[in-house]
Chain A
Amino acid sequence: MNGRKKKAGVPFAQAGEPVDAGGHLLKDERPGAVAIPGAADIPASRKTRTLAGDAWLRLRKNKLAIAGLVWLVFIAVMTISADLWVPEFFADPTSTEFEGLEPPSAAHPFGTDRIGRDVFSRVVYGARPSLSVGVLAVSISLVLGLIFGALSGYYGGLLDSFIMRTADVFFAFPYMLFTIALLAVLGPGLQNVFIAIGILGWPSIARVFRSSILSVKETEYVDAARAMGASDLRIMSRHILPNAIAPIIVYGTMSIGGAIITEAALSYLGMGVQAPTPSWGSMLSEAKALMTAAPWLTIWPGFAILTTVLSFVLMGDGMRDALDVKMKD
């Protein structure tokens, strides 16, 4: 990983080593080390003040994560602005005015499907349910998971047992089956997909967060914060959360990918987005019979799912590295 590579940084003195007035090593023999005469010359990375600012500086060095981010921004901009340009230059995603099963051409860059709809415009519009399910469902899981995980890890005791046993109940059912059962009760449709995926996602997030909190809670700096007179809320938000959040960020971004796949699977099974609204999963579902006859029908939505999920995973990985202050320089 790029972020892991040690860069020559500002030399700093260990107590006892010869130092100049500025506290810098008088003699630094590390290769590439630069002697810094004064505070005026400290590199830009040293000047930012916030954790987020520093994290961004580090994230920028991670090319894979940036590639993922660029791709996601690209998809998001495409699909959000779709109304402005897709119907005019390509086609309405639901109109069936074209010849069916045409291979890709200049007029239809991704070809057309069985009933004569433009695949390109359907892929562009299909990003809407996928991205919104990914983001919204995971937000629901995150809110629930973080609250329950925090209560469980920080307070422990009976509350912990209660929350974790409830989580176990959720884990006891096969995930896909539970989702389908929930949708059967709630009824199909995009909104219910958010809710189902969101509700089913919290136990794993709560568990990851709880174990992360448990390890941070025992550290001496948390004791030190308590000895300093910090309140529970402050200890939780300032001292435990930032140190316990890294696995959640990784898990969260990666589970956006998972949620997109679940949405695709549900739409494929006909429980998600309803026709004629396009979604990547339902497009795959419609294309399954024609996989050999018209491969473009499966390739493009499949490619979209693959790259989007991969981008979220790469982003999550990059963010974990970026949020680790020890990776700095």
Chain B
Amino acid sequence: MALLEVTNLKTHFTTRDGVVRAVDGVSFSVEEGHTLAIVGESGSGKSVTALSLMRLIPDPPGKIIDGSIILRGDDVLKMDASTVRAMRGDRIAMIFQDPMTSLNPVFRVGFQIGEALRIHKGLSRKDAAARAVEMLDLVGIPNPAERARDYPHQFSGGMRQRAMIAMALACDPDVLIADEPTTALDVTIQAQILELMIELQQRKGTAIIMITHDLGVVADMADDVMVMYAGKQVEYGSAHDVFYQPLHPYTWGLLDSLPRHDIDEKGTLLPIEGQPPSLIDVPSGCAFHPRCPYAQDRCVKESPELREITAGHQAACHFAGEDGFVRGEAVPVTGEVA
């Protein structure tokens, strides 16, 4: 049994315009010390998946309508409110996207790092403060005793993200969810933060769920990759498989739209045409068919099931695994789709 096992998770939002199927039947699992990357365009349901794991979906309008989330044998979806609170920050912790705004401006950094410890471990103010200094040291903040007394605005972006990581890891959580942790940082700092996360993961054995649309980050960190499109997973497998034998045309599109410096420098980038669909009015059949260059009649009518193509490598495409249907070789369908 994996550390975290998510089965058929469905999170829908009821809005005035209709039901938004933000997450619509997603299953995955994460092992201790492993990293799962969830990738996809904006609005594909990545963040809602993460928030569902922590039961942080605002209700109303959102609701987790189906599925199970088993963390070390406990079903997160069956927990009562106080058990969920006890779990948040202690067993599953989260790092947010923008470190500039995710620290409370009126408290000193050390105090905020210690807060989770006071809530979950019942530490005294003094012990929590001492532990906060240790955590700041651990995440590589120089002069931690002094910096713990600083306010967030006295920290730079990179340091704030380090402080956020210190905060998230203070209680030694089983699972760390990082929602685009490096998007708001500049490139050199991005690398430092990723390195720090890998190092801490190795030291503490934390499982990481990394939400990102940066495939470079995925290649650096992930053991497993889940590609999401329109609230569903379209491909799921080990990072090696997904990068080297991608099965789904959407994954091909993501990989093609990435600049590469190793092959041809002058090559043009190939964007995926069109926009991600509205999650209220999802296209019939395969949600990706309006943008898929390989779409056929069947794709308009029938929704492809997620199925295992090779061992441990799943994809939701009617043609995945067929001879010749591989990235770079498959022939786009020309002409109008009926």
Contact = CB atoms under 8 A, between A and B. Distances in A.
A49 B56 CA distance: 32
A202 to B, nearest CB: 25
Contacts of A187: none
Given A229-B88, A229-B89, A229-B119, A23 B151 contact: no
Contact of A227 (B88, B105, B141, B153): B88
A53 to B, nearest CB: 11
Contacts of B86: 229
A228 B105 contact: no
A328 B94 contact: no
A30 interface: no
Q: How large, as a class, is the contact surface on chain B?
A: 35 or more
Interface stretch (B70-78, B142-150, B197-205, B269-277): B142-150
Interface stretch (B154-162, B207-215, B234-242, B244-252): B154-162
A231 B157 CA distance: 28
Contact of B143 (A22, A219, A228, A229): A22
A55 to B, nearest CB: 10
B270 to A, nearest CB: 34
Given A221-B103, A229-B90, A12 B154 contact: yes
B188 interface: yes
B277 to A, nearest CB: 27
A40 to B, nearest CB: 10
B104 A239 contact: yes
B156 A230 contact: no
A62 B85 CA distance: 43
A39 interface: yes
Nearest to A16: B188
Interface in B282-321: none
B141 A16 contact: no
Contact of B141 (A21, A23, A242): A23
Contact of B119 (A16, A234, A326): A234
Given A23-B142, A234-B119, A328-B151, A221 B104 contact: yes
Interface of B: 54, 56, 85-90, 93-94, 96-98, 101-108, 115-116, 119-120, 141-143, 145-147, 149-151, 153-159, 164, 167, 188-189, 192
Interface of A: 12-16, 19, 21-24, 39, 42, 46-47, 49, 51, 219-221, 223-231, 234, 238-239, 242-243, 325-326, 328
Q: Which 5 A-B pairs have the closest CB atoms?
A: A23-B142, A15-B158, A228-B89, A229-B89, A229-B88
5 contacts: A13-B142, A22-B146, A228-B89, A230-B85, A242-B107
Given A13-B156, A15-B156, A326-B151, 14 more contacts: A12-B155, A16-B188, A19-B142, A39-B143, A46-B146, A223-B102, A224-B102, A226-B56, A227-B96, A228-B89, A228-B119, A229-B88, A238-B104, A325-B105
